[in-house]
Amino acid sequence: VEFLYCDLASMKSIRQFVQRFRAKNCPLHVLVNNAGVMLVPERKTEDGFEEHFGLNYLGHFLLTNLLLDKLKQSGTHSHNARIITVSSATHYVGKLHLNDLQSRYSYSPHGAYAQSKLALVLFTYRLQHLLTANGNHVTANVVDPGVVNTELYKHVFWVVKVAKWMTAWLFFKTPEEGASTSIYAAVSPEMEGAGGCYLYNEERTKSADVAYDEELQRRLWTESCKMVGILDESSRVP
């Protein structure tokens, strides 16, 4: 195991990380996008993005795109490279506000978090479409880890914290249990060549209806490219 520092809330840090990784000249077979914050008070990343959207979504969007060529080089017909992105059941109630992705007009911690998790599902489906269209040996899937007992809940109200402390043993998954579906997506032979799936408890399930809106997927992808400053090459793919 080797650690390389990467701050997903900083576009500069992400680019520096990718440079350091490239310098190692290693193949890249699996990328798991797992960083996240939840219900944080209204604040911005160093690049001026609303923190939920900037860290949970845009950071992973940029990281994945900057590593795509390495993933494409590493995947083969019999062993696809795999991209796993961790979303949440919260995406089912999320709404994507393309005219206000930064939640500037009306900030809600719950709304901003749900929007970032919906964006991750839309991103994954669009990414898989582009990978398939270009004949790349890379798959992209999205995972719902369930309700896991981690520090992700440190910004919830104190009443919720107390309830969590009292009931975690009964209703919450351990971190190891929460990681199981991501591990399944990353290494299971059953997932070889399978992309564009929403996985929960190691099974394929249906995501929110809006996540299958291909026009919304395209528009989010194009806007995301503008926000992180990369070329949108998807326009050549229907």
Could you give the domains of the chain?
11-236 (3.40.50.720)
pLDDT at 68: 97
pLDDT reading at 190 higher than 80: yes
231, two tokens: 């070329």
Cα separation, 39 vs 157, in Å, equals 10
Exposed / middle / buried, residue 207 (Cβ in 10 Å: 0-12, 13-18, 19+): buried
pLDDT tens for 55-99 read: 999 999 999 999 999 999 999 999 999 999 999 989 999 999 999
Task: Return the CA Rg of the chain.
Answer: 17
Residues with a catalytic annotation lie at 113
- Residue 86, strand partner residues: 143
Listed range (86-90, 156-160, 204-208) with the worst mean pLDDT: 156-160
Residue 52 near residue 116, CB atoms below 8 Å: yes
Residue 144 near residue 87, CB atoms below 8 Å: yes
pLDDT at 84: 98
pLDDT tens for 123-146 read: 999 999 999 999 999 999 999 886
pLDDT reading at 164 higher than 50: no
